[in-house]
Structure 1
Amino acid sequence: MKNYQLRRLVNQPILKTSDVKPAIDGFEVLGAFNPAACLFGDEVILLLRVAEAPKPKTGQLAIPLLVEQDGVPTLTVQYLPKPPQPYDARVVTINKKTYLTSMSHLRLARSRDGIHFTIDEKPFLFPARMDESYGVEDARITFLEGKYWITYTAVSEHGPGVGLAVTTDFVNVERVGMILPPPNKDVALFPEKINGKYYLLHRPMVSEIGKPSVWLADSTDGMHWGNHRFLFGGRALSDERYAWEGAKIGAGPEPILTDEGWLVCYHGADATHAYALALALLDKEDPSIVLDRSALPLLTPELPWEREGFFPNVVFSNGWIQWPEDSDKAGQIWVYYGAADSGVGLAELVVVQTHPDEHG
């Protein structure tokens, strides 16, 4: 694999939580982060994950979720007593039932230059099904066969599964439904068929045995997926060289086809839950073959806004774009990443020549 590096294009977030208005009356935005990304005409489109929560009452937690009322999933707020023991700011268990403390939806942002964005005030995709009753999170976008396929994490009391929606214009969107049941997430579709089949990367969750790793699946129709197989996992946590990905890994945006093979961006987390970004290279004709992987992370949380936020020490990407050859940024790959669950950063993926050609 070529010697890639991720270089920050800006040293400040291009989008911050404070840039996003709440979509629900009486709620506040806790985070705007982890965007999917694509090119649409002459615009860059981001689908931000926006986490909102109702303002709490003294001594109580305000839990947003969908409940069925006359067969219709309806947004409600449940007020529950705060647990006496310390708890995660994102998730809490009360009376043996686990809740999220916020509800996420997908919000559309548009830009002509890829840096300065206008953010819609209303959600693009808001939880609407009971298998999304805790929220929709961390989308990926793949342009495939004339439409934009949007995979996202659909969360409910039964766990995180993978939903699929499609659009052609980013105005109208059609929910296809859940394509992988809980517990699963981090799905990235390949942007073209390989040997007549659709392919995707996914990240099944594990319990007592194993660690969260990247898997591969294929399909003949893009809806029903099978032939699931392990692709690659985090290298040994006991080996200090790979501690940065030793706890768990997951796929990022859709793979990009290069002259070497399919380039995959993925995230790795260490034992302290700090997240970093790296690359893997898969065979063009058989993506079940891993040709190479990063020995070291390409991007780690270093700047204050990457280290401090709603969930600290995180750089996490599920969106990148490759500028077309007829643009002034021809061929450049821009990587949009969530930072500390509180904003969005921007980096460029570049190839570095380590050994110049010698002529003699």
Structure 2
Amino acid sequence: MEHKNQNNNIISIEKKGILLSPTIKPFESNGVLNPGIFQEGEEVHIFYRAVEDGNFSTIGYARSDGPTNIVERLKRPFITRDFDYEKHGVEDARIVKIEGIFYLTYTAYDGVNAIGALATSKDMKHFERKGIITPPIDYKEYKFHLEHCNQDKLNPKYFYYYNLFAELGIVEEKHRLLKDKDIVLFPRKINNKFVMLHRIWPGIQIVQFEKWEDLTKEFWVDYIKNLTDHILLDPLYNFEVNYLGAGCPPIETEDGWLMIYHGVCETNIGKTYHAAAALLDINDPTKIIGRLPYPLFSPSEDWELKGVVNHVVFPTGTALFDDDLYIYYGAADKHTAVAKVSLKQLLDELKNQKHEKV
């Protein structure tokens, strides 16, 4: 089925439908969604979030021959909940290969905190946990350091979300850490540094570092004190007015880094998650070349509109076959689905869209 963008007919999206759904197996009976994708030639490796009763998550594994032909699917979890910091969930994996090492970033959920974590592998079969990689600070520390930022440049929504969490009593909770999700690595080093996207509400930030050991508490404290220097995208357009989050690992093209992300807006029917796109400079990804002022695609099909969480398309991985870019996404927090777009068409449109500063 072909889905024309409601706001602009230049980009044509073909929704290929559901790729994976929950099964009767207990570990994935409630949801199969938000997959990390790694492509090797014609093979697509799919590391999906598998949800069981009680909202406990592990990572399942499937493999396709071509973009959508599933030829293997494990009957048990591929990555399980092994440590206290992930005792409630190993969620929303993204995966890249850099200099011979597979880096799998994910959200670790302990029942209270949802924070970024890392696992690595040399063979994509045996992964070693490396622990938490996002700021190990609580909300009171976060506010204190955020107040050192350039307030003239800082989007007031950063304090809005802090105040919202304060009203809910979250910032006063013992052992509550700053929520930091949607951890996505660029698939190669840039200027000899790892480059990573993450999300402190409401925007997408970008962090660069030479080695993982650099990500100390002191590093993150300094980072937050200068947060305005690290914000890549903040909410700008109506479809993403509430908050954003990084989606798929950026795709290296001749025109720049293609970034697929999600944007969220609140309507009279609740929150709606849209897929969105931006183009970043190939040598300096902190520079934005273009950004779509409308969604790349939005919930429109039954499996996107109704599920565990309604009105959600949540892109997390891609595979490229000639000019066809396949975008793998979570649909209504229940299924894994796929959409297809022309890479050239999307890049041409992004180059025509000058980025507006917030």
Task: Give the AA of the match of 2:209.
Answer: S
Aligned to 1:333: 325
Q: Does 1:178 align with 2:144?
A: no
Measured in 2, the distance between the counterparts of 1:36 and 1:157 equals 22
**Of the two, which has the highest radius of gyration?**
1
Query: For residue 36 of structure 2, what is the amino acid of its counterpart?
Result: A
User: Which of the residues 72, 90, 102 maps onto 1:136?
Assistant: 90
Residue 264 of structure 1 corresponds to 259
* Residues in 1 aligned to 2:191 and 2:124: alpha-carbon distance in whole angstroms: 30
Q: What SS is found at the alignment partner of 2:85? A: helix
Deviation at 1:223, TM superposition (A): 4.7
Superposition CA RMSD, Å: 2.0
Alignment of 1:137-286 (within 5 A): 137-180=91-134, 181=136, 182-205=178-201, 212-225=202-215, 226=219, 227=223, 229-235=230-236, 242-271=237-266, 272-286=270-284
Stretches of 4+ moved more than 4 A in 1? none
Amino acid of the residue matched to residue 34 of structure 2? N
How far apart are residue 249 of structure 1 and its match?
Answer: 0.6
TM-score calculated relative to the size of structure 2: 0.74
Determine the C-alpha separation between the residues in 1 that align with 2:95 and 2:38.
7
Q: Which runs of 5+ in 2 are unaligned?
A: 1-8, 137-177, 350-358
After superposition, the C-alpha distances for 1:274-310 in whole angstroms (9 at most, x for unaligned) are 1000111111111111221111101100011110111
When residues 6 and 103 of structure 1 are mapped into structure 2, their CA distance, relative to the original with a 3 A threshold, is: farther
CA-to-aligned-CA distance 1:65-115 (integer Å, 9 cap, x gap):
xxxxxxxxxxxxxxxxxxxxxxxxxxxxxxxxxxxx310110010111221
How big is the shift at 1:9? 4.6
Greater percentage in helix: 2
Identify the match of residue 102 of structure 1 among 44, 55, 69: 55
Counterparts of 2:126 and 2:252, CA distance in 1: 29
Determine the C-alpha separation between the residues in 2 that align with 1:111 and 1:331. Answer: 19
Give the C-alpha shift of residue 4 in structure 1. 7.3
The 8 Å contact of residues 43 and 63 in structure 2, kept in 1 or not, is answered as yes
Note closer, same or farther for the CA distance 1:306–1:8 as it changes in structure 2 (3 Å cut).
same
Could you tell me whether the CA contact under 8 Å between 1:269 and 1:275 is conserved in 2?
Answer: yes
The amino acid that maps onto 2:243 is: K
Given the alignment of the two structures, is residue 17 of structure 1 paired with residue 18 of structure 2, yes or no?
A: no
Q: Is the 8 A contact 1:6 1:298 kept in 2?
A: no
Q: Percent identity of the aligned residues?
A: 34
3-state SS of the aligned residue for 1:274? strand
CA offset digits 1:33-67 (Å, max 9, x no partner)? 111101136521011101101xxxxxxxxxxxxxx
Contact in 2 for aligned 1:213/1:249 (Cα 8 Å):
yes
What amino acid sits opposite 2:133 in the alignment?
Answer: I
Query: Residues of 2 paired with 1:115 and 1:307: CA distance?
Result: 22
1:13, distance to aligned residue in structure 2 (A): 0.8
**1 CA distance for matches of 2:41 and 2:132?**
29
Aligned residues: 281
